[in-house]
A and B are shown apart, each in its own frame.
Chain A
Amino acid sequence: MRRVTRTVRPITRLALPFLVLALVSCAGPGSTPPTPAEPSAPAGQDEPRPTIVVTYSVLGRLVADLVGGDAEVLVIIPDGSDPHDYQPSARDMEAMTGADLLVVNGLGFEAHLDDAINAAADAGTPVFAVSEHVTVRDAVGAHDEGHDDDSGHGDDAGDPHLWLSPATMLEALPALADAVAAAIGTGIDPSELGAQLDALDADIARKFAALDRCELVTGHDELGYFADRYGCEVIGAVIPSMSTSADASAKQLAELKAVIAEHGATTVFTSLGTPQEVAAQIARETGADVVELGTHVLGGSGTYAAFIRSIADDILDALR
């Protein structure tokens, strides 16, 4: 018995580095506090600035663009993490309940943050849901028409991907400015940002109007607002669902192939949370290209306008 025990022990020693590795890589990102949305924010001021907490990065960037240096803007869901899947930590809860204003998307987008958002609201944090101040799009995608009875496709809550149309965000801007002003006690003028978004919207509309046609195949149903605004049609998706959490079925993929062939689509636009190998296989079988869009990732975009512009340009480059 004793002898055999000794022969097994080296395996344990071999395995230990892996366990340590696992623990270290978990401790690194895990201990990161909610990230500031403005990298240039002055640190260590004498008087603490009011804090606005925003659930995800793109919306956080827009809020930061709006308030400038008048408040500190913190983002809960790390940029690059899938907002459909994100689970809050205790530190996130502290930031949300301690905020002067909590800005959320709504419509179930921050699925696992809903309880935390409600708890923060109960604790007295003012909550601004962008979705309550815009025209919400029906959650049923264009390609779902005709079989709305399919369970899991139609979601009565509406399409949560508001931020992908600057025109939609413009609708919410005055109310957002009022809410920010009330929370931080400083007047906020949305007109400059408003004019910038207006110009951006007009510019993108002009470029898309020059296309013969604009038919989009996407990762999940994420480009509805964008497509509606700029005369495009979302003809299919790898995961025909408002969330990335759904699973692909063989039937949906066969239908998607048929749709791609019928419309002569040349590009499959994927994004965060799209099953990459499934998308690649569909592209291979239909002769289409795969283009990754940063629809859920702010990345290095300096401003919200730059973020939208890069998505629009990526789509235009692929369709031209």
Chain B
Amino acid sequence: MNLLVAPFADNEFMRLALVASVLVALTCAVAGTWVVLRGLAFVGDALAHGVLPGIATALLLGVSGLVGAAAGALVMMAGVGLVTRRLRLAGDTAIGLLFVSMLALGVVITSRSESFTGDLTRILFGELLGATRGKIGVQAAALAAVTATAVTCRRPFLMLSVDEGLARSAGFSARLFHALMLAMVAVSVVTGFQTVGTMLVLGMLVAPPATGALFARRAGTMTAIAAACGAASCWLGLLLSYHLDVAAGASIVLVSTGIFAVAAVAKEVARAGRHDDELPHAHGTVHLP
């Protein structure tokens, strides 16, 4: 028991890192549920890397990285929308285009500037062990905003995830709610980057909700499972970093993907045992209320 609790009791940096990362995990569990249900993982990935030039520019100008990341996310989402509509290219082509150009722009800015003090590694992988109360406050606000959006827009989000036509026939604007969904993802990425880094926030956005999708038949249950898995990953990941002397942010993401793998195997084993009495249902299928 001492091995599991003492590192946090003895070190304030461990407690701050735990609180900050759990808040990221909860935010990502809420937004990530819709990432998985609506198939937005690639957009999430693109956003996570697309914010890089914004962060780099902000640090150069001496502005908060948060502002830069938000600007980067905005450019990314607007750019994807523009290319998709105007040039009639498939969504993933547009995302791919914007993704690589924003990432390359970020690398160009960080590598050529003479006054760049925050280096690329720390933007990509975060500074989890240097979590501050200020960051925790921002992350708590993000969690509140994302949760409020998800609760308010639950019905249109569900319909959108099943079929856009269904949402439209119920009187919801597919484009508006799609944009809101993307905004939730963007908020999670933009606030999460300063804690776990842009690269690893994607792991939190996909792995715990994917684990939830294995078992849940309702979006709410899926979010709850994702939140539990995400929070457990933070705690276990930090313990791994403490006991095994490995990087903290990456440990958390590895634990969360590890939990998914174990859960997926467990589920397959269980299903193989009772394949006669029940038809398998598709992963991630959600029943409308």
Measured CB to CB, the residues of A under 8 A from B are 4-5, 8, 11-12, 14-15, 18-19, 21-23, 25-26, 29-30, 32, 78-82, 85-87, 89, 150, 244-245, 247-254, 257, 272-273, 275-282, 284-285
**B contact patch SS:** helix
A8 and B175 contact, CB distance less than 8 A: yes
A241 to chain B, nearest CB (A): 12
B11 and A257 contact, CB distance less than 8 A: yes
B84 to chain A, nearest CB (A): 11
Q: Which of A11, A30, A80 contacts B112 (CB 8 A)?
A: A30
B78 and A11 contact, CB distance less than 8 A: yes
- Point out the residues of chain A lying under 8 angstroms from B221, CB to CB: none
Interface flag for B96 (CB, 8 Å): no
Give 19 A-B contacts (CB < 8 Å), ordered by A residue.
A4-B173, A4-B176, A8-B81, A8-B175, A14-B74, A14-B78, A21-B57, A22-B57, A25-B109, A29-B113, A80-B115, A82-B119, A87-B111, A150-B245, A253-B129, A273-B119, A278-B130, A281-B129, A285-B13
Measured CB to CB, the residues of B under 8 A from A are 7, 10-14, 16-17, 53-54, 57, 60-61, 71-72, 74-75, 77-79, 81-82, 85, 105, 107-109, 111-117, 119-122, 125, 127, 129-132, 173, 175-176, 179, 238, 241-250
Most B CB contacts (10 A, CB to CB) among A21, A22, A23, A281 go to: A22
B108 and A80 contact, CB distance less than 8 A: no
A144 to chain B, nearest CB (A): 12
Expressed in whole angstroms, the Cα–Cα distance for A276 and B175 within the complex equals 42
Q: Which of B7, B54, B245, B246 contacts A18 (CB 8 A)?
A: B54
B74 and A254 contact, CB distance less than 8 A: no
Expressed in whole angstroms, the Cα–Cα distance for A247 and B7 within the complex equals 19
- Point out the residues of chain B lying under 8 angstroms from A8, CB to CB: 78, 81, 175, 179
Q: Which of B17, B114, B176 contacts A80 (CB 8 A)?
A: B114
Expressed in whole angstroms, the Cα–Cα distance for A278 and B125 within the complex equals 13
Expressed in whole angstroms, the Cα–Cα distance for A248 and B75 within the complex equals 32
Q: Which residue of A lies closest to B14 (CB)?
A: A250
- Point out the residues of chain B lying under 8 angstroms from A14, CB to CB: 74, 78
- Point out the residues of chain A lying under 8 angstroms from B72, CB to CB: 18, 22
